[in-house]
Structure 1
Amino acid sequence: MLYEKAPAKINLTLDVLHKRPDDFHEVEMIMTTVDLADRVWIRQIKGGQIKIKSSVRYVPSDRKNLAYQAAELIRRKYGITQGVEITLEKRIPVAAGLAGGSSDAAATLRGLNKLWKLGLSADKLAELGAEIGSDVAFCVYGGTAFATGRGEIIHDLPAPPNCWVILAKPAISVSTGNIYKDLSLSSIEHPNTERMIQALKYGDYNEMCRSIGNVLEPVTTGIHKEVAVLKEQMKKFGADAVLMSGSGPTVFGLVEHESRVPRIYNGLKGFCPEVYAIRMMGERHSFD
C-alpha cells in the first residue's frame, strides 16, 4: 500500500491570450499549492482491473475519474497488466476550481511510478499528465509555477511569501467549459503576470497582493452572483487580497497576519458551507 498527498492549487493569476487551432485556449497562469489535500492510497490487486474508491459518493469510479485515466494511461504505456485499487480520501471540494481531480491523477502517476518501479522522472510524469488534463502536469510537480500553452508547459517559480489562505466555496458547481465558452476575448482586462513573477522572486507580499488577477472571474460572477457576494464579504472581513481560483466558484483571500484569520473564517462560516483556513505550501514535491 502506497500513500501520496494530492494538494489543491490556487491561481494567483489566470490570463487567456487567444483561442488555439486545437480549440483549447492559450493561457498564462501562476499557480501555487496550498495545504489542503486529498489523500490517495494505492495498492496492487489481483486481476487486471482498475478500481476507484472514494470517500465522496458522487465522485465517479469509472473512466470519468482522472485518477482512473492516469492508471489506465501508465499501464498502457508501460505494458503493465497488474490490477490496482486507488482509494481517494477527498478533502478538496469537488468542482471547485482547485484542481482536486487533476491533483488526484498526478498523485496516482507518482504513486504508480513507485509501486511498479518504473523509474520515470518528474518531467516524464508531467508529460504523461498533460495527456490527461491541462492542470495535471503542474500537479505532478506541485510547488509554484508559471504555466503556459494550455497550462501544461511548466516553469518553476519561487514559493510565495508566507501567509494564510482562506478558501470559501459556495454551494454551487461551475462548468469550466461553459465559462471559457462565455469568455469574450476582446474585452479582457489582462492581469500583470510579469509583475506577479517579480513579486514572487523578491518575496514581496504586498506586491503579490496587488498583482493577483483572473480573467475568468467576471464571467463566473456574471452567472453566479453569490461568487461576487462572497468576494465582497471576504474583503469586508479583512483579507488583504481576494480572488476567484480557476473557473470558480471557490474564492480565496490572502491574509498576512494570523490575528485576522479567525474573524474572516468565522464571518464566512455564517453563510458559506465550505470554508478553510490553510497555509501556502509553494514547494515542489520530492521525487527522491
Structure 2
Amino acid sequence: MAGNTSEVDMMAAAREAQWSAAAFMGPGAVKLVAPAKVNLVLAIGARRPDGYHNADTVMHALALHDTVYLRIEAATADEVAQAAAAAAAAGRDDVALGGPADNLLVSIDLADRTGAAGSIAAADNLAFIAADRLARAVGWEDPAHVQLRIEKHIPAQAGLGGGSSDAAAVLVGLAAQWGLAADDERVGECARALGADVAFFLHGGCAQLDGVGEVLRRRLTSSKRAVVLVKPAAGVSTAEAFRRFDEAPLAVPDEVLKAIENADDAAEVPLFNNLAAASEALLPELSAVRAWLAERVGAENVLLSGSGSATYALADSFSQASALATAASAEGWWARPTTLSGLRAAQVPGR
C-alpha cells in the first residue's frame, strides 16, 4: 500500500512540475480569483423545521485567495462518454460527469499550497457540483470537457469558505463562457442552493446576510485592516458543531443585533460568534488558540470564523500580523497574515 501511495504522489508531483498557466490559458479559458472570508458576526438563531438554523451574519472577504483556472473544450457526445468510461476504468476520481444530458466531463486538478488541504473526489467537490447545477439550470446540453485547475491557498475545514469560494468562481467563469449576463438570476439561485458562503462570494467585500445566511440584506463599507489567521491541524465538522449548539443554545444579545443594524462600515461591527463555544467544546485546542491571540491583541479583536477551525485576530498593521503568524507557526499551528478586502469571486482581467 505504501508503494502505491508513493507512486501516486510521484505522479502528482510530475504533473505539477509540468503544469503551465501559459499553456493552459487560451481560447475558452479564464483565470479567476476565489477569496477567503471571515465572519465578523455569526448570530445563530432557532432551528427551523427544515433542520437548518436562522442566521444573521456579517461576512468580510479577505485578500487571501485561491486561484481557479477554467477551460472549456468542445467535444462530441461519444468523446465525452468514452473519456468518462476510460477514467472510471482507470479508477480516477479527479473526473466526474455532469450536465442535463451527462454532457459535461469535468476534470479537477487540485494543487495544494496550504499544507492543510485534504483530498476530495471530483464528484464530491463543490466546484463540480456548481458546474453541474448551472448547466442544468440553463439547460446547457452541448457536450464539452470542462477543465478546472484549483490552486489552494485557503485551508479546508477552517471556516474560511475556501470550497464555497471556488464554487462561486466556477459559477462566474462558466457564466462568462456561456454568455450569461453578470446578474443572471440563475447564477444567484445556484449559489444560494449550494450554500450561504457561495452566495456571499458572488458579492464579496463586506455584507450582512440572513435567512440561513444566504440572503443578501445589504452591503457595508469594507475594510483593509490587517488580519492574522491561525488554525490547528484538526478541523471541525460544521454539522457536529450545530448539533452541540442545539444541546445548549446561546442567545444573541439584543445589543449585538442593534449594533449590526446601526453599522454602515465594517469597522463599526462588533465581533460576535455564538457558535464558537460549541466548536471549542468539540476541539478544545481552539480555546488555546483564542487565548494565545487574545493575550497579544486583546480579546475584543479575536474571533473564531464560522464553525472553525480558523481563529482570526485583527491587527494594527500587516507587520504585526506577519509577526503573529510567525510566532503562531512556531507553536505548531498553520498561520497566515492577510488583510480584509473588497474582493469577490471574479474573473481576472486578461492582459
Task: With the length of structure 1 as denominator, give the TM-score of the two structures.
Answer: 0.90
219 and 186 in structure 1: CA distance in 2 versus 1, 3 angstrom threshold:
closer
- C-alpha deviation, 1:98, in angstroms: 0.7
Residues 1:59 and 2:115 aligned together: no
Q: Which residue of 1 aligns with 2:129?
A: 69
Q: Which residue of 2 aligns with 1:118?
A: 180
Q: Which residue of 1 aligns with 2:64?
A: 36
Q: Which residue of 1 aligns with 2:288?
A: 229
Separation in 2, partners of 1:130, 1:28: 15
- Partner amino acid, structure 2, of 1:62: A
Task: With the length of structure 2 as denominator, give the TM-score of the two structures.
Answer: 0.75
Separation in 1, partners of 2:282, 2:171: 35
- C-alpha deviation, 1:185, in angstroms: 6.9
- Partner amino acid, structure 2, of 1:36: L
258 and 38 in structure 1: CA distance in 2 versus 1, 3 angstrom threshold:
closer
Q: Is the 8 A contact 1:14 1:213 kept in 2?
A: yes
Q: How many residues align?
A: 283
Q: Which residue of 2 aligns with 1:2?
A: 30
Q: Between 158-167 and 9-18, report the one with greater CA deviation.
A: 158-167
Residues 1:253 and 2:313 aligned together: yes
Summarize deviations over 1:206-225 as a string: whole Å, max 9, x none: x53xx111111001111211
93 and 155 in structure 1: CA distance in 2 versus 1, 3 angstrom threshold:
same
Larger radius of gyration: 2
CA-atom RMSD in angstroms: 2.2
What SS does the corresponding residue of 2:220 show, helix, strand or coil?
coil
Residues 1:195 and 2:252 aligned together: no
Q: Is the 8 A contact 1:164 1:256 kept in 2?
A: yes
Structure 2 stretches lacking a partner, 5+ long: 1-28, 81-103
Q: Is the 8 A contact 2:168 2:345 kept in 1?
A: no
- C-alpha deviation, 1:238, in angstroms: 2.6
Q: 1:35-184 maps to which residues of 2 (within 5 A)? A: 35-45=63-73, 46=75, 47=80, 48-56=104-112, 58-80=118-140, 81=142, 82-121=144-183, 123-184=185-246
Separation in 1, partners of 2:167, 2:247: 30
- Partner amino acid, structure 2, of 1:41: Y
- Partner amino acid, structure 1, of 2:278: V
- C-alpha deviation, 1:78, in angstroms: 1.9
Q: Is the 8 A contact 1:36 1:91 kept in 2?
A: yes
Separation in 2, partners of 1:213, 1:60: 31
Summarize deviations over 1:1-45 as a string: whole Å, max 9, x none: 101100011000101111111111111111010011011110012
- C-alpha deviation, 1:120, in angstroms: 4.6
What SS does the corresponding residue of 1:135 show, helix, strand or coil?
helix
Q: Between 159-168 and 218-227, report the one with greater CA deviation.
A: 159-168
Q: Which residue of 1 aligns with 2:16?
A: none
Structure 1 stretches lacking a partner, 5+ long: none
Q: Between 179-188 and 138-147, report the one with greater CA deviation.
A: 179-188
Separation in 2, partners of 1:194, 1:167: 28
